[in-house]
Amino acid sequence: MPLPAALLLCLASLLLRSASPSPACGRSSCPPCPEADAEAPPPPGATACCPPCPLSCPCPPHLQADCELHGFPEGRVPAGRSFYIDFARRLCRCGDGGDIACSPLCPRPEPACRALGSPVADGCPRCVCYDAEGMAVPAGSSVRRGSRECRCPALGGDMECAEPRE
């Protein structure tokens, strides 16, 4: 083959080689990580660009029963998975670092509340008043008690009742 043709063929092959797509890199091109492994290297079949699998979280002794109840019987929660405790008032999540962190889902009641109770089905504590029957009435709401209109103040405490005006 003459030298100019060989140079042209070499140059063409270099151009075509550099234009070919490189393999995709990222979590989507990697095989899934095993759910219950602790520290795991990239799974079999992973390319060099696949990151290591995140740590699963061991259930601490005080959460062991909750972990089992929510489907983690081996005592390990996969990274990114979560579960509820305390009658769904707290959410526990397994972070990428291998630790379970729990946080409250209920808003904090006003520190100046005069009385706390759980007047609604979510079980979260709120400022309330207790009526004569011991029922919790949410702060800021009004209820009728016989012919009287009763109101619970914004910070709870004692019901304020008034006779109806005629």
Kindly list the averaged pLDDT for each block of 10 residues, start to end, along the chain of length 166: 64 59 62 59 61 85 93 89 90 90 90 89 88 87 86 93 75
Nearest CA among 33, 69, 74, 44 for reference residue 57: 74
Position 162, amino acid? A
Q: Where in the sequence of the chain do the CATH 2.10.70 domains occur?
A: 116-162
Q: Please report the pLDDT score of residue 119 as a whole number.
A: 80
CA angle, 106 then 107 then 112, to 5°: 130
Which pLDDT belongs to residue 49?
73
According to DSSP, the residues that pair with 162 across neighbouring strands are 149
- Alpha-carbon distance of 10 to 158, in angstroms, equals 92
- Among the CATH numbers 3.30.160, 1.20.140, 2.10.70, 2.70.50, which is that of 116-162? 2.10.70
In this structure, is the dihedral angle defined by the CA atoms of residues 144, 150, 153 and 156, taken in order, positive or negative? negative
> Residue 139's pLDDT is what?
94
Ramachandran category for residue 25: left, alpha or beta (phi over 0 → left; psi -120 to 50 → alpha)? beta
Burial 19-38 (b: 16+ CB within 10 A, else e): eeeeeeeeeeebeebeeebe
pTM strictly above 0.85: no
CA–CA distance, 102 with 124 (Å, rounded to integer): 16
The two structure tokens encoding residue 82: 């979560």
**What's the confidence (pLDDT) of residue 87?**
83
